[in-house]
Structure 1
Amino acid sequence: MTNACGVDFGTSNSTVGWTRPGQPALLALEDGNRTLPSAVFFNAEEDAVSFGRAALADYLAGYEGRLMRSLKSLLGTSLIDGQTEVLGRALPFRMLLAQFIAELKRRSEAAAGRTFERAVFGRPVYFVDGDAGADRVAENTLREIGLAAGYREVAFQYEPIAAAFDYESRIDREELVLIADIGGGTSDFSLIRLGPQRAGKSERRDDILANGGIHIGGTDFDKYLSLSCVMPQLGLGSRLKSQSEVPSSYYFNLATWHTINLAYTQRAERELQDIHRDAVERDKIGRLLHLVRHREGHWLAMRVEEGKIALSDTGHARLELDRLSPPLDVALDGERFDEAIAHLTADVERAVSGLLRDAGIAADAVDTVFFTGGSSGVPLLRRRIAATVPNARQVEGDRFGSIGAGLALDAGRKFG
């Protein structure tokens, strides 16, 4: 058994995998769960730090403190070199990411009963769209963070390729497969030849026909669902007495996971107080001001995320927003959701078509489309991807586990 592991540091959830004979690859990271939500809560009342589900529970319980989520989204942005204030102290974002990954390492080693000195980290095909230099910087940053968290050696694998390795371990014939990995922050694709005879090869470069991706994922679907269906109830699109529109920046910050805390500055609250005085629809701005004063942005984002999941499963949902003042009850339906994310899914469809074009492969030559990633269940997205490969059968992977399991296989091959 190797002392190397596979680390899927995800925008929404993270996993760690370890290859061992006759055992499942993914390790239990929190109360028997194989996933750890990528969240950290700094509890000001108890001067303590919690992670994962415990972090979300502490935040929702109303403890005074600071919740950080979607940490991976900082990679490839200028924010990664900045800092935030936590419990009255300045905390660099790099240190925050290293703290979370060190916790992943600690928990995985406790579950495995051994230390992991080497790790293969999953990475999106593009951390940054259309900027190869910035993409390299983002990967190097993640490598430095992994080393700071305690790994002696860090390698990388594209996340859709890792998912391909997991799928390949379960098939008995050769296939040309489109891997569609729809995560929290990115949609990544690989076109690859898989099969039992190919699985044992140490070098798979010739089997990979094309990789591609786009910086659109589940948090973007949350964002535009919120902007379409919830934020108008807090004043988005409303007007001041001067007939100018209420600035939209507050709503975009609150609808975007990794910028929610920007809405909590003293300056932002003062500006909102002025807007409230001059607003035509003061009740709506009052809700917004209450939300900001009580720092309920992450709670609202979680409620919208739950609505998105319900819409993906059943086509309808109801959000009971009882922490707003006055409270709101918002009905959601699949048609409105489709309208809100249509521009995003069109961009994803174009990315898949471009992948096929780059590979020189006809759409009807693809045997299988393998869906994985936590956001791969969004119906409109699935329909648009499937339409690009009309003859391919659709296979459902483990939405939260395929990448981690594949990274574990790759770690065994890379480090022995």
Structure 2
Amino acid sequence: MTEEDFCAIDFGTSNSAIAVPDDAAPSGMTLVPLENGQPTMPTSVFYLAEGPELQNLPRLFGRAGIAAYTEGHEGRLMRSMKSVLGSSLMDQHTDIGAGRSVSFADVITGYLLRLKRSAEAHTGRTLKRVVLGRPVHFVDEDDARDAQAQAALEAAARAVGFESVGFQYEPLAAAFHYEATVADEQHVLVADIGGGTSDFSVVRVGPAHRERLDRRDDVLANHGLHIAGTDFDRRVELASILPELGYGTFGPAIGGQPAREVPSRIYFDLATWHIVNTLYRPQRIAEVRAMKVNFANPVLHQRLLTVLTDHLGHDLLGRAERAKIEVADGGQASIDLRLVERGLQVTLEDAQAQAALRDDVARIVAAAHEAVQMAGLAPERIDALYFTGGSTGLRLLTDALSAGFPAARPVHGERLASVATGLGLYARRLWA
């Protein structure tokens, strides 16, 4: 083995990244451009069910796979593959269309191979050693299944050609850059808030700890909940865009009876990323056509039909996400809906966004306090609040968390790459 035949992989639930040695970088590691020059790639695989050579399982990875799915190509999109680790699903096969199936283990192996090949093309070296990030618990309160999950991930890494495999806890990896700057022992609350989950870990850092290879005792507690970025987008879309398609409006008063609200199920489905494509099926469109009697304003019904027949559902969610970010930066956002109807647009105000997200943000802050309580610490014992994950760009959220721990210094890491960078630091310590 050559000295720099190692790498570090953050195999994330929503996004993944890989770090490789780079003596010119301040940390000695650099992130590999994975897709369109980006250092991260969505953890997703789209198996095509149309076109030539289907027997060879053609597939697209990352943003390309998501684009194929949202554009309506025939096939099967696989996301959040990490969640099957430690479950009986690993060895089971799942249908990918055109009479074919693959095992979940093969899906994960194929994705890791894509990451490895990208890194080898970037470095010009064969990579034989890897540090993989892992959550504090793959499976809560089940040590046997947790060990099984790590073993399954290690097996996948070895299957793609890694001869030596190490692991490090993701929240510790995220905090490694901060740890290098402190002169005394501190308690850090790592807030890793991505697209699907908000995860909190209380970790102990400091000069006396940073050279230790076994850091499991420095993870004092972890806790989380399934509320994060995609939930925020859903709330924003329901609050700002979907009322223009009839959500929350009322139908005509018939026979002296009070007007009834337009049925809301279709709107909740339209605002849920993984369900949107099911709304384009003929039976769902027929269902919406039949809903015309429920609308007092036929223009709203026609807009809803246009969104479904023109397959605009994911586009609307994307506009809601961009508006959410724009409001966080500047107070209001104009959402262009000309694809639905010429001249149609809505404005999202800061107060409107705060009202839409208030309950979710409160639950996330409560989860953070629960993590600190599980560590046996009072809130004022938290020295630093370390933010990582894509959704920590939302100032409304980070301000609320900072207010919950006023004695803690807020520290913003690289939103999508802190874990990969920290894993790279650990890999150098382990093997360089």
What is the CA-CA distance between 1:298 and the residue it aligns to? 1.9
Quick one: distance in 1 between partners of 2:32 and 2:398?
29
Match runs of 1:207-218 below 5 Å: 207-218=218-229
Question: Are 2:264 and 1:248 aligned?
Answer: yes
Q: Specify which of 21, 28, 31 is matched with residue 26 of structure 1.
A: 31
Which residue in 2 is equivalent to 1:230? 241
Shift of 1:160: 2.0
CA change 1:82–1:325 in 2 (3 A) is farther
- How far has the Cα of 1:329 moved from its partner? 0.8
Q: TM-score, normalised by structure 2?
A: 0.80
Cα distance in 2, alignment partners of residues 131 and 388 from structure 1: 31
1:49–1:209 distance in 2 versus 1, CA, 3 Å: closer
Preserved CA contact (<8 Å) 1:191 1:210: yes
Correspondence for 1:201: 212
Inter-CA distance 356–399: structure 2 relative to 1 (3 Å threshold):
same
Partner of 2:10: 8
User: What is the CA distance between 1:135 and its match in structure 2?
Assistant: 7.7
Q: Give 1:96 shift.
A: 5.3
Q: Secondary structure at the match of 1:230?
A: helix
Q: Is the 8 A contact 1:222 1:305 kept in 2?
A: yes
Aligned residue among 299, 309, 324 for 1:308: 324
Query: Are 2:292 and 1:271 aligned?
Result: no
**How has the CA–CA distance of structure 1 residues 351 and 308 changed in structure 2, closer, same or farther, with 3 Å as cutoff?**
same
Letter in 2 for 1:14: S
Distance 1:333 1:66 in 2: 38
Shift, 1:370, TM fit: 1.3
Q: In terms of mean alpha carbon deviation, does 279-288 or 44-53 score higher?
A: 44-53
From the superposition, tell whether residues 353 and 132 of structure 1 become closer, same or farther in structure 2 (CA, over 3 Å): farther
> Contact (CA 8 Å) 2:45, 2:79: kept in 1 or not?
no
CA deviation string 1:129-150 (max 9, x = no partner): 8999998887777667666766
Shift of residue 40, structure 1, vs aligned partner: 5.2
Q: Residue 274 of structure 1: CA displacement?
A: 1.6
Aligned: 1:340 with 2:345: no
Write out aligned runs for 1:28-47 (5 A).
28-38=33-43
TM alignment of 1:57-136, pairs within 5 A: 68=77, 71=80, 75=84, 88=98, 94=104, 98-117=109-128, 119-124=130-135
Find the counterpart in structure 2 of residue 176 from structure 1: 187
Question: For 1:36 and 1:256, how far apart are their aligned partners in 2?
Answer: 21
8 Å Cα contact 2:380-2:408 kept in structure 1:
yes
What are the superposed Cα offsets for residues 312-364 of structure 1, whole Å, 9 maximum, x if unpaired?
A: 22222111122224563121122111111111111111111111212121222
SS of the residue 1:28 aligns to: coil
Structure-2 change in CA distance of 1:123 and 1:266 (3 Å)? farther
Q: Secondary structure at the match of 2:366?
A: helix
| Distance verdict in 2 for CA 1:341–1:239, change over 3 Å | same
Matched, 1:398 2:398: no
Q: Any gaps of 5 or more consecutive residues in structure 2?
A: 53-57
Q: Deviations over 1:299-323 (max 9, x none)?
A: 2222221112212222221111222
Superposed displacement of residue 392, structure 1: 1.4
Q: Greater CA deviation, 289-298 or 8-17?
A: 8-17
- On the 8 A contact 1:101/1:146 being kept in 2, the answer is yes
Residues 74/205 of structure 1: CA separation in 2 closer, same or farther (3 Å cut): closer
Instruction: Give secondary structure in 2 for the equivalent of 1:313.
Output: helix
SS of equivalent to 2:266: helix
Give the 3 Å change call, closer, same or farther, for CA 282–139 of structure 1 in structure 2: farther
> Which of 172, 179, 192 matches 2:203?
192
What is the root-mean-square deviation in Å for CA atoms of aligned residues? 3.8
Q: Are 1:365 and 2:381 matched, yes or no? A: yes
The DSSP-based 3-state class of the residue aligned with 1:376 is: helix
> Does the 8 Å contact 1:44/1:63 carry over to 2?
no
Alpha-carbon distance between aligned partners in 2 of 1:345 and 1:256, rounded to the nearest angstrom: 19
> Compared with structure 1, are the counterparts of its residues 169 and 26 closer, same or farther at alpha carbon in structure 2 (3 Å cutoff)?
farther
**Paired residue type of 1:178:** L
Contact 1:71/1:258 (8 A) holds in 2? no
Q: How many residues align?
A: 414
Distance 1:128-1:281 versus aligned 2 partners, 3 A rule: farther
Distance 2:108 2:340 in 1: 31
Give 2:319's aligned amino acid.
Answer: R
Q: Which stretch of the first structure deviates more once superposed, 370-379 or 108-117?
A: 108-117
User: C-alpha displacement at 1:68, in angstroms?
Assistant: 4.4
Q: Which residue of the partner structure matches residue 55 of structure 2?
A: none
Cα 1:272–1:287, aligned 2, differ >3 Å: closer, same or farther?
same
Could you tell me how far 1:42 is from its partner in structure 2?
A: 6.7
What is the CA–CA distance in structure 1 between the aligned matches of 2:108 and 2:16, rounded to whole Å?
12
Distance 1:202 1:128, change over 3 A: closer
Local SS of the residue matching 1:354: helix
Q: Would the aligned equivalents of 1:4 and 1:116 in 2 still touch at CA under 8 Å?
A: yes
Q: Could you say what secondary structure the match of 1:33 adopts? A: coil
Q: 8 Å contact 2:171–2:203 — kept in the other structure?
A: no
Structure 1 residues 125 and 248, CA gap change in structure 2 (3 angstroms): farther
Answer with 332-341 or 291-300: which moved more. Answer: 291-300
Q: Which is further off, 347-356 or 161-170?
A: 161-170
